[in-house]
Chains A and B, each alone.
Chain A
């Protein structure tokens, strides 16, 4: 199940191309139609990349403005991908200007993983065996989301970007490669390393894992409905 956007109908697509053509000629109203359609994606990517709402709003607005000023450089293809590339560049510019990364210290994230909890995490690995659970049922846990949100900021930017574009925003490998100007092989490897790192951070915090995962409640597995295949 590749995460992709629902396919746009041909009508929808040709209407979109007409709007893009008008926007390219400097029509602000037409451009605003595009903004309305893609601003959610742009803002979510900026927010998950930067981890700060106010900053993400300003960066997204800068990206929208930059897109309007450089719309003549848009040479077809996916407008969403093009806009997300601008958003990504704005994030990188921001980091460069700050000379520091909004990274969560790994020490903080790993702090509880002392010798004893490390051993517990290892045992928890063994408790993660049952592949029959439905993660979507469990992902609503707020602390878990908050943790992953924070842990994202501990990833190197290239891995974070790949993970955000793929798992949060639902781009295909090809689209991610286009946004990040790299090849699919690199995207795969960044994605794998980013996800694995998030998982390893998570495993050091067994208290955040859904109860069905925990060592002491393995007998309660029926509470997790089997996902129909």
Chain B
């Protein structure tokens, strides 16, 4: 075998790759083949490419091709193999985010309801009721009190009391000689969503959000 003569002009991998696919014109192919016959380095690189290509062609053989046909409704017949959807749909992501938002909103509302509800409950208790009536008559500042708040107080009372116990600093309990102004802004004007309504709505939202969140999770896993 002759030693390499024109080492300067080795064949590029791109040229060898095209030679491999037989896509060179006659003149170029003759030139390449002449070089391959002379140059051990390029011949070795070319032989390696042929080995790679032959092996890749064998990778076309795959056993057990699954059936990807659709059913009459245009849906896949197969079940997904990977339980976690690798790419959840935008609608799914949005629904999940929305349910989380509702859940958080509900919990926040519950929290607010518990705080304000506890505050107003302390006010309606014996000693503070009188104290409060000094600043503003209950009949005026609590227009909704008799209609929606007070009658139902019996049921959520324990929960509200718990909240009041847990957050004593947030709800200043009015004591005898203390000024009313310290807690006046907190509860007397109890705006339309009364603490009870807030509590109910918060409960509803939190529950709804939770159910939606869990429901979406399950649905995504099953598809």
Contact = CB atoms under 8 A, between A and B. Distances in A.
Contact of B60 (A127, A170, A199, A213): A170
Nearest to B50: A135
B80 interface: yes
A159 B127 CA distance: 82
Nearest to B36: A131
Interface bin, chain B: 35 or more
B68 A128 contact: no
Interface in A12-71: 28, 31-32, 35-36, 39-40, 42-44, 47-48, 54-55, 57-58, 60-61, 64-65, 68-69
B68 A195 contact: no
B175 interface: no
A94 B69 contact: no
B41 interface: yes
Contacts of B71: 28
Contacts, number: 176
Nearest to A47: B62
A39 B68 contact: yes
A196 B13 contact: yes
A203 interface: yes
Interface string B82-107: 10001100000000000000000000
Interface in B1-59: 1, 12-14, 16-18, 20-23, 36, 40-41, 43-59
A3 B56 contact: no
B70 A199 contact: no
Contact of B81 (A28, A35, A57, A126): A57
Nearest to A135: B54
A189 interface: yes
Interface bin, chain A: 35 or more
A131 B16 CA distance: 13
Contact of B76 (A65, A97, A138): A65
A2 B17 contact: no
A133 interface: yes
A32 B57 contact: no
A198 B68 CA distance: 31
Interface stretch (A72-80, A110-118, A139-147): A139-147
A31 B53 contact: no
Given A58-B80, A196-B49, A168 B54 contact: no
Interface in A142-192: 144-145, 148-149, 152, 163-164, 166-170, 173, 188-189, 191-192
B78 interface: yes
Contacts of B65: 39-40, 43-44
A191 B20 CA distance: 11
A124 to B, nearest CB: 8
Ranked 6 nearest A-B pairs via Cβ: A135-B54, A167-B56, A192-B17, A199-B48, A128-B44, A192-B14
